[in-house]
Structure 1
């Protein structure tokens, strides 16, 4: 049997793998509202129907940690991978009890422990908003295009789900702007850990992301959904089948897959190959080295660094594979031929050619601005990626600033419909290790100074006359943001509380924010706006040529 994944873009989607025998297999990738039921049934002798799709959709779970999961009992039990729960397991551990190392198993419902910051979501409906979003952006370019699109998306989310604490709405872009869909989810903010095996059992073989040794691992985690303090009733759930798969048997996988980036143009792939991935891999390599050294200093350091180190190693392997593909001449020649074929099909139809124009050239032109601004955008607006305290400061400051504006004029991540999840992630109790925070914050500060140089105005504003390590140590030691009560006071106090705060982490973000907003504005005007606007037409060209 040859299982092949079928997936879809952002949001919860149906992914199906259909094996047609030991020598060959079909593949495809669909959202739940676009599954070719008739064709699949005819080709494989199946009897799939809409009720079957509805049942599978109702049993599929999206975790806000970015993972897919499944309901597997009538009382809210959720099955997922170990790496999808390890952050929760780490957060629930302590110096005295290391659940990551020793494993966790709740003997009773009362022993099930709430996962900080985690939310589970089940897709209930999909609405096509493509015409509405494209109408809102018609005739706009650059940053105006980005802002009009984001405002239209935020308005749709707010209109559909506003005021209902049980729902979350999210407009997602599919086919790089070729379609826009409003996904409505039933959300569960109380997600509790039920079971996670020992890390050595789930991570057998020592491979960074465990893909090399899956058959020898117990790569599993169980969670349970709660509401009102009680387990959720979930009559629509998957059931366990103990027999082994049969040769040639149809296999279906439902989940929340990441983007394939398959509609990227050649100029974008070359930028990924030559700039984006190499810079990211260089930083991941150095951060991995710092965390490895940190882990070797004590047993407690090793415990608190396990999850972040695991995440970095996982990302490193992902991008190592992408870099290898982009360095492969055969692969790149095939992508170049595909792009040429699509351009030729469009050129052969004068009316279509006039409508589509040359989005490939527009995207290629934007690569210069991408290269000129990437490092600054990554370091200044991207911020201290690995620091929880800095991330808290960012959420608090920008939420206070943005909530003073109408929802349609805000940065999209602070639109009204998106605030409940942000508030949960901000205020849930989560352990913060000060020494690990110093390593993370110091790394960002040192790389920012190294990449942008000491003469850069933004670097001077952030560092002043302090060293990266010294500033990191002083800021972490003086900040109260590790305390959920302190975060709540600032959240509830709004902009006035932020302006009055002398917390050094808040002050650090405030010093960086003007430069961060400036580079974000440039990025939207010169990179994201032109690219996204052109990418929509690449998608339309693909639809016209291939369906």
Structure 2
């Protein structure tokens, strides 16, 4: 899974408006912003104190960027970022996606099930420790040593404080490692959301094409101890009219790029990853649409998943168009040739381009199985189990029971002591589960896994046994009790003995 790094991206308004004028642009972490160059080039008066205020006003909400806009925890974000919260709070009788959510007072704000928000409070350099941990090691031993060291650093940084989260992030493909410390809010409440048709005006199946003509905005509020959080540092409204040529800065999380992928890596994405992801995503979309047409209940249940898969599909379509554009690929080739010419002189026999080229056949061969059985590959978007919430809970329970019996340094990284609070928060959250929708997801996944891995694959045989995808998905969904948070908590607390 790619690392999501809060970053500060700068671009001239003239560039955003399509002007041919020269524009300075780039993306930087808050502790590595080129202050002097920006001030000299753009005529700004930025200092570290300004950057710190922007950082402390910026909010990470799930996978979205957001910003504090009041001293009482009010946060503004895009409407699609609260779509899951809106769906989880809605019922057929009260569908906030259709009506909008407009509480008359703070007392009517509703808690987003499982929702968390974070503010980056500190960045520290741990590169030396991480490099030392992997020194002289290769392969799995190298990975395990670094994962273990990251877990120790995170545990030292947060010391079990449930209101903070520490994460060691990889920057520049391992050139640097930073410890990010977040203030964590586990009580996040919906404060405003427009009706879906107003937020997605234009008829496009995502939020990319017509944002200027839509109300693609929503508000959430951060709470502490049952009361709105005190947030004295926040963004303030500027009613002045924008002036052409004014520098525009956008802060946010995530802020990751794939600019450092080599030509051979891009070829793997273009030739293997995207064709598979797009093909099977289109079928999942078709199954969800078919399910939504069975009745009002099914249409309500499938609304948010359809929007999500269409968003993902269009993003993949854009990537495919770029990677099949001869002009774009020629530009990437020229950039890589220039960069290698300047960098390879000092690398000797330990050439990273040669190494990456050598592993591409392995990636190409293993991607279908890994994507379908594990998901979250960092380069693809295929969701394991079709995004089935019941499956994801089950996997967390089984792996958590297996891993927690080991010393923290020997576990899978996501189950290190420093990360267990986040795992439990997601596992115990009360969220609606729709059995019909879950079966559609599971049946699609089992069918695609058998199709892509073939029925003779040991993995496919272990997964399906002697049952068809239709039979197995129906039996699993009908027979599970994992929709009940109390059952999930009991299984987690009971450990391996309860799971087995």
Structure 1 length normalisation: TM-score? Answer: 0.87
Q: CA deviation at 1:182?
A: 0.5
Cα distance, 1:216 vs. partner? Answer: 0.8
In structure 1, distance between residues paired with 2:251 and 2:264: 33
Q: Look up the SS of the partner of 2:130 in the other structure.
A: helix
Does the Cα contact within 8 Å between 1:209 and 1:314 map onto a contact in 2? yes
Q: What's the counterpart of residue 396 of structure 2?
A: 395
- Take 1:213 and 1:295, find their aligned partners in 2: how far apart are those partners? 25
Could you list the runs of 5+ residues in structure 2 that have no partner in the other structure?
376-383
Match of 2:379? none
Counterpart secondary structure, 1:105: coil
Q: Are the aligned partners of 1:10 and 1:174 in contact in 2 as well (CA < 8 Å)?
A: no
CA contact (8 A) 2:114 2:426 kept: yes
Match of 2:373 in 1: 380
Give the corresponding residue for 2:29: 31
The Cα offsets for residues 462-517 of structure 1, whole Å up to 9 and x where unpaired, read as 21221101111111011000111111111111111111xxxxxxxxxxxxxxxxxx
Name which of structure 1's ranges 78-87 and 53-62 shifts more when overlaid on structure 2: 53-62
Between the two proteins, the alignment pairs up a number of residues equal to 487
**Deviation at 1:9?**
7.0
Q: Compute the RMSD of aligned alpha carbons.
A: 1.5
Does the CA contact (< 8 Å) of 1:116 and 1:425 recur in 2?
A: no
Find the partner of 1:11 among 5, 18, 23: 5
Q: How does 1:9-408 map to 2 (within 5 A)?
A: 10-19=4-13, 22=19, 23-63=21-61, 65-347=62-344, 349=345, 352-354=346-348, 357-382=350-375, 383-408=384-409
Residue 3 of structure 2 contacts residue 256 of structure 2 at CA under 8 Å; is this kept in 1? yes
**Structure 1 position 26, deviation (Å):** 1.2
SS state of the match for residue 347, structure 2? helix
Structure 1 residue 469 and structure 2 residue 470: aligned?
yes
The equivalent residue for 2:432 is: 431
State the alpha-carbon separation in 2 of the partners of residues 457 and 253 from structure 1. Answer: 48
Contact 2:112 2:188 (C-alpha < 8 Å) held by counterparts: yes
* Unaligned 5+ runs, structure 1: 1-7, 500-547
Contact 1:104–1:196 (Cα < 8 Å) also in 2: yes
Matches of 1:62 and 1:223, distance apart in 2: 12
Q: Deviations over 1:224-248 (max 9, x none)?
A: 0001111101110111122331111
Distance in 2 of aligned mates of 1:185 and 1:462? 39
Q: Do the aligned partners of 1:9 and 1:175 also contact (CA within 8 Å) in 2?
A: no
TM-score by length of 2: 0.95
Q: Return the offset for 1:450.
A: 0.9
Preserved contact between residue 5 and residue 256 of structure 2 (Cα < 8 Å): no
Q: Distance in 2 between matches of 1:448 and 1:387?
A: 15
Partner of 1:511 in structure 2? none
Cα shift readout 1:424-463 (whole Å, capped 9, x = no counterpart): 1111100000000000011111111111122222222221
Q: CA deviation at 1:20?
A: 6.1
1:15 shift after superposition? 2.2
SS in 2 for 1:29: strand
